[in-house]
Amino acid sequence: GDSVTQMEGPVTLSEEAFLTINCTYTATGYPSLFWYVQYPGEGLQLLLKATKADDKGSNKGFEATYRKETTSFHLEKGSVQVSDSAVYFCALTSSSGNTPLVFGKGTRLSVIA
């Protein structure tokens, strides 16, 4: 079945460092890809998405490009802030829309000043 693999955390970075969180997927057809963020004590929030190959999703300085050839959707940010400390989840859903989101296990990011 469909699955998402993301890098194990936790990831600890200093403020203004460059962030990459790797995400690869296995799916039939052409899934849509998502990054969600979960701040402490809160539910998940959609951070960005891409619905077809070569699409780039972006939001709040975060970016991810849908790479079908490498089945990847890596999350990047050029300069992280303490407020970016959270758990980040990569997810997919099928192009048919008949299946719910399939999530990776999440990557915890801690940014220190």
Binding residues for another protein, per CB under 8 A? 32, 36, 41-46, 49, 51, 89, 93, 97-106
Q: How far is Cα 34 from Cα 108, in angstroms, rounded to an integer?
A: 17
Please report how close the Cβ of residue 49 comes to another protein at its closest, in angstroms. 7
Q: How far is Cα 8 from Cα 17, in angstroms, rounded to an integer?
A: 19
Between residues 56 and 78, which has the closer beta carbon with respect to another protein? 56
Between residues 42 and 69, which has the closer beta carbon with respect to another protein? 42
Between residues 74 and 104, which has the closer beta carbon with respect to another protein? 104
Q: How far is Cα 99 from Cα 35, in angstroms, rounded to an integer?
A: 17
Q: Which residue has the tokens 């709040």?
A: 60
